[in-house]
Amino acid sequence: MILILLGLSVSTQASTTSNAVQHFDIVFVIDDSGSMKQTDPNRLRVEALKRFVDILPKEGDQVGVVTYSTEVLETMSLRDIRSESDKNDIKKFAETKITQNGGWTDTAVGLKQAAAYLDEFKKVDHKQLIILVTDGANDFGDTGRTKAQSDADLEKVIAKKYPIYTIGLNPEDQKYENYISDIAKRTDAKAYFPKSADDLQAIFYEIQGLMYGTELTLNNVNLNPSDYKDVEIDIPKGVFEANIQIIHTAPLESKLIAPNGDEIDHNMAGFIFTTESSYTNIKLSEPEAGKWKLRLKGSKEETVSYSVLFNYDITKNAQATQNNSSRFNNIVKWISVVIGLLAAALIMLLLLKKRSLKTPPHGQLKVIVMESFIPRATEWRKLGNFSNDASMDDILGCEDIFHELKDVKIRGTYEGIMIINSCGCDIRYRGKNNDPAGVEITDGQSFRIILSDKITEIEITYSAN
């Protein structure tokens, strides 16, 4: 059994509309051709989709589903999520309509239908994306459809600039791999090639992390039938919604304990407990800040992994700041000009001094090492002062298996840090590829190094002190 509590936090650059969090219009495009019976015999793509939907905020997003072979098979146009009932309808559609009974494959027809739904039903304050799951290159069989027709439809979809995250379940076919990689690259998204359908859930979690500009961390705990094990969850202030998702193959007992020691009733207002055959999702609306406990007991002995998702109410914090500022406006207005002149002079002096010294940065690097898109380790490393190039391997103290990092250099500048790629690895910043010569990172920004000879990623966030 795997227990996943997705550790995510919405970026402060998310939408500041009347909604508390950034919302999305998402269409899943699922290959339901006959070959999926062999590629995903346990229909794990259905379970991953259901868990993805349950982690979304309790209201505000829109979700659609399209299944296809050489034609569109089953569809659900964008469904506006207003309640748990809407989520249940989406999950029921996935359970009953993804049947693996299709014939040949034409990915363009599925993407064309998804783009049509986004064109018709998207909301202006939402972000849009498509998630494609397929297992093979186009094969039109005896349908009469031609490659030229399919390619023409695909070009029209790509021209709409909706990000298309592609997941290929048959990475041994190089032609097919190039096809769906190109779709992701040209729409500023990402392509994934898991070794098996068992890795689908981790990929879906990563896509949700990319949506919210967040990261995923995993921890382990051993369960047994004889006693409860407590997992501490520290919820900070300003959280709009917290999700705890438990993925299990066998029944388990779960209890949630508030910071004051009270056990939360499953029917209490502000809490939603959703139980499926393979997972349990606990959603907390505007939870009290403090140390919560998730109390678990398994029906058999097993090791589980866990993580947590936080959505922050950005607009509420912004409104509070605005109200506080207005209270003082009348009091300080008569001295604002004087303070402004003094501050401007001081800033100019500091800038001149800073530019003259060009002091290398003080700070920390937060390092996440991922193998096969599953985070392996997360830790903070201190970034010291230096003026010459230093090896990333020396700074991070990476293991020998990441020996490629010896050729990735880091240089301090007075504005941040400069990453210099000298080993042919792919350096990415905010999901986009950068000049192989390097990329400059300032406080709070992150970048990824994609190692060339294995499916391994190093994600590093710089924090100045």
Work out the number of other CB atoms within 10 angstroms of the CB of residue 253.
Answer: 12
For residues 415 and 363, the answer to whether their CB atoms sit within 8 Å is: no
How confident is the model at residue 215, as a pLDDT? 63
Rounded to 10°, the helix 147-159/107-121 angle is 30
Q: Are residues 144 and 160 in the same domain?
A: yes
Q: Which of 35-44, 363-372, 403-412 has the highest mean pLDDT?
A: 35-44
Q: Are residues 260 and 394 in the same domain?
A: no
Biggest CA pair distance of the chain: 81
Q: How many domains does the chain have?
A: 3
The answer on pLDDT for 399 being more than 60 is no
Confidence of residue 156 (pLDDT cuts 50, 70, 90): very high
Q: Are residues 284 and 373 in the same domain?
A: no
Residue 368 belongs to domain with CATH number: 2.60.200
Please give the residue that has the higher pLDDT: either 4 or 115: 115
How confident is the model at residue 459, as a pLDDT? 79
The arithmetic mean of pLDDT across residues 335-344, rounded, is 64
Q: How much is the pTM?
A: 0.62
> Which of 297, 324, 357 represents a domain boundary (last residue)?
357
How confident is the model at residue 320, as a pLDDT? 42
Confidence of residue 112 (pLDDT cuts 50, 70, 90): very high
How confident is the model at residue 349, as a pLDDT? 62
How confident is the model at residue 17, as a pLDDT? 37
Please give the residue that has the higher pLDDT: either 200 or 46: 46
Q: Which of 72-76, 231-235, 370-374, 398-402 has the highest mean pLDDT?
A: 72-76
Please give the residue that has the higher pLDDT: either 370 or 266: 266
The arithmetic mean of pLDDT across residues 377-395, rounded, is 69
The answer on pLDDT for 123 being more than 90 is yes
Full domain range(s) for residue 350: 315-357
- The per-residue pLDDT of the chain, averaged, comes to 78
The answer on pLDDT for 1 being more than 50 is no
How confident is the model at residue 133, as a pLDDT? 93
Q: Are residues 258 and 392 in the same domain?
A: no
Read off the tokens for 350.
């500091």
Q: Enumerate residues 6+ apart whose C-beta is below 8 A from 293.
A: 230, 231, 232, 233, 256, 257
Confidence of residue 266 (pLDDT cuts 50, 70, 90): confident
For the stretch 2-52, pLDDT in tens is 444 444 433 333 333 334 578 999 999 999 988 888 888 888 889 889 988
Q: Are residues 267 and 280 in the same domain?
A: yes
The arithmetic mean of pLDDT across residues 156-183, rounded, is 87
Q: Are residues 265 and 322 in the same domain?
A: no
How confident is the model at residue 205, as a pLDDT? 80
Pick from 169, 247, 170, 147: nearest CA to 205 = 247
> Which of 357, 389, 415 represents a domain boundary (last residue)?
357
Q: Are residues 98 and 221 in the same domain?
A: yes
For the stretch 296-330, pLDDT in tens is 888 888 877 777 777 765 455 444 444 444 554 55
Q: Are residues 7 and 113 in the same domain?
A: yes
The arithmetic mean of pLDDT across residues 434-461, rounded, is 74
Please give the residue that has the higher pLDDT: either 198 or 162: 162
Q: Are residues 320 and 410 in the same domain?
A: no
Q: Which of 46-50, 111-115, 215-219 has the highest mean pLDDT?
A: 111-115
For the stretch 170-199, pLDDT in tens is 766 677 788 999 999 999 999 998 877 778
Residues 431, 216, 270, 253, CA torsion sign: positive
> Residue 395 and residue 380: Cα distance in Å, rounded?
11
The arithmetic mean of pLDDT across residues 415-438, rounded, is 72
Q: Are residues 116 and 69 in the same domain?
A: yes
Secondary structure of 62-118 in the HEC alphabet? EEEEEEECCCEEEEEEEEECCCHHHHHHHHHHHHHHCCCCCCCECHHHHHHHHHHHH
Residue 60 belongs to domain with CATH number: 3.40.50.410
Q: How far is CA 308 from the centre of its chain?
A: 12
Q: Are residues 353 and 371 in the same domain?
A: no
Pick from 393, 349, 369: nearest CA to 455 = 369
How confident is the model at residue 27, as a pLDDT? 97
Q: Are residues 155 and 279 in the same domain?
A: yes
